[in-house]
Chains A and B, each alone.
Chain A
Amino acid sequence: EVQLVESGGGLVKPGGSLRLSCVGSGFSFTNAWMNWVRQAPGKGLEWVGRIKSKADGETRDNAAPVKGRFTISRDDSKHTLFLQMNSLQTEDTAVYYCTTLMKDNAGDAVDIWGHGTMVIVSS
């Protein structure tokens, strides 16, 4: 079964840190460009950042609101994506999704999202 499963969410105080994980299965994780997307309660989707595959240089890019605070990494041997979040702020409260958009052998899109993990930043 093709799936992504996030974990690591929880309650953290402002200024604190948290590390999210996302395990992929059923697809070629090693070749996938992986993204983190978040959704604050009652709000829209917001792209957080992306890491390319190792073959494509493992380049990391983050959205402006998290630049310098969040770091994306991956462990292809464990099919796992990470999001290290430091200096957390109340506005970082959101459901965090990992996701990837790939092409199958026929060139058609394969879109995979996890179920999301909730992060609450509150004192």
Chain B
Amino acid sequence: SYELTQPPSVSVSPGQTARITCSGDALPKKYAYWYQQKSGQAPVLVIYEDTRRPSGIPERFSGSSSGAMATLTINGAQVEDEADYYCCSTDSSGIQWVFGGGTKLTVL
């Protein structure tokens, strides 16, 4: 079955740039989506279609994709950005959606 691979954890100091990667064989042809999930809450979409930011998401969140890797970048990470982040995409058929294993972002 198709898999998306993320690092388990990323740690930065406040104000630094955090980068979270997501690798998958179908990413060169399929969009990546990024979700933020804070403890006890439902996920929130922060990036869609590789690079687009939904209304209401701070500009410090950006996305990029190159080859088989998508990247979520948080410029000037803040304490309130501490959360689990999940990438999401489809397999090559476009039918099966898959989440990455999640990355715990620590900002302290």
User: A residues bordering B, Cβ < 8 Å?
Assistant: 35, 37, 44-47, 50, 61, 63-64, 97, 99, 101, 108-111, 113-116
- How many Cβ-Cβ contacts under 8 Å join chain A to chain B? 54
9 nearest A-B residue pairs (beta carbon): A111-B45, A113-B42, A47-B97, A44-B102, A45-B99, A109-B48, A109-B54, A61-B95, A45-B86
A113 and B99 in contact (CB under 8 A), knowing A45-B35, A101-B48, A108-B55? no
Q: Per DSSP, are chain A's interface residues mostly helix, strand or loop, or mixed?
A: strand
Q: Per DSSP, are chain B's interface residues mostly helix, strand or loop, or mixed?
A: strand
User: B residues bordering A, Cβ < 8 Å?
Assistant: 1, 33, 35, 37, 42-45, 48-49, 52, 54-55, 84, 86, 88, 95-102
Q: How far is the CA of A113 from the CA of B102 in the complex (A)?
A: 18
Chain A residues near B35 (CB, 8 Å)?
A: 45
Shortest beta-carbon distance, A81 to chain B, in Å? 15
A113 and B43 in contact (CB under 8 A), knowing A45-B35, A45-B99, A61-B95? yes
Considering the complex, give the chain A residue whose CB is closest to the CB of B97. Answer: A47
Considering the complex, give the chain B residue whose CB is closest to the CB of A104. Answer: B55
Considering the complex, give the chain B residue whose CB is closest to the CB of A50. Answer: B97
A61 and B96 in contact (CB under 8 A), knowing A109-B54, A116-B42? yes
Q: How far is the CA of A101 from the CA of B1 in the complex (A)?
A: 24
Chain B residues near A50 (CB, 8 Å)?
A: 97
Considering the complex, give the chain B residue whose CB is closest to the CB of A95. Answer: B42
Chain A residues near B55 (CB, 8 Å)?
A: 108
Q: How far is the CA of A35 from the CA of B96 in the complex (A)?
A: 11
Q: How far is the CA of A47 from the CA of B98 in the complex (A)?
A: 6
Chain A residues near B52 (CB, 8 Å)?
A: 108-109
